[in-house]
Amino acid sequence: MKPVYRIAVAPDSIAVECWPGWDAFDAALPGRAPGGADLAYAAGPVADLRAPSAGLHELQHIRVNNGRMADVDAFLAGDLAAWERAGAKALGAFTVVHGSEIPTCLVLLRWPSLQAALDGQIAFENDGAVRDARSGARKRRNQAPIRTTTRLFRQNLTFTPMA
């Protein structure tokens, strides 16, 4: 059974809730999220989100072109490593299974500051491994796998494990 994550952006925080599986989710349906939410599976290891963390938290919504999810799934581990090289703490990546725009992936990062996030974006875009992966995926099907990426920043991150 896979854990189910509900990830929402509130005015002052990014809120992550986690159920051990769909049975637990269905048994205790959550209330409405303040600004909408996505339900997702982890697309790899997730950091311990219970520990309080200082810094600026970023949630990336990566909207994927239809039929290209396998390419983006293949990027995620390399992308998290590239974000770490760029100065972020990679907290996790998620594949959305229910949300407003599917197919979508989410990437959760922590930065020391907004300036570090800006510098990190430049470093990420200049990372050869990232460029090579994107170029190869684009050339294989003559279309980029990623439609758009939206970056949302909040000071606070809350994590609630749900029974």
Round to whole Å and give the CA distance between 67 and 24: 30
Which of 15, 14, 18 has the alpha carbon at shortest distance from 4?
Answer: 18
Looking at residue 141, what is its pLDDT?
Answer: 86
Looking at residue 7, what is its pLDDT?
Answer: 95
Q: Which residues of 99-113 are buried (b: 16+ CB within 10 A; e: fewer)?
A: beeebbbbbbbbbee
CB 41 within 8 A of CB 69: no
Looking at residue 30, what is its pLDDT?
Answer: 79
Looking at residue 49, its amino acid is L
Q: Domains of the chain (ranges plus CATH)?
A: 4-161 (3.30.70.100)
Looking at residue 71, what is its pLDDT?
Answer: 87
Residue range 104-126, pLDDT digits in tens: 999 999 999 999 999 999 999 99
Per-residue pLDDT of the chain (163 residues; tens, 9 = 90+): 899 999 999 888 999 999 999 999 999 887 787 777 999 999 999 999 987 778 899 999 999 989 888 888 888 889 999 999 999 999 999 999 987 788 999 999 999 999 999 999 999 999 999 999 889 888 988 888 888 899 999 999 999 999 7
pTM, 2 dp: 0.92
Looking at residue 124, what is its pLDDT?
Answer: 94
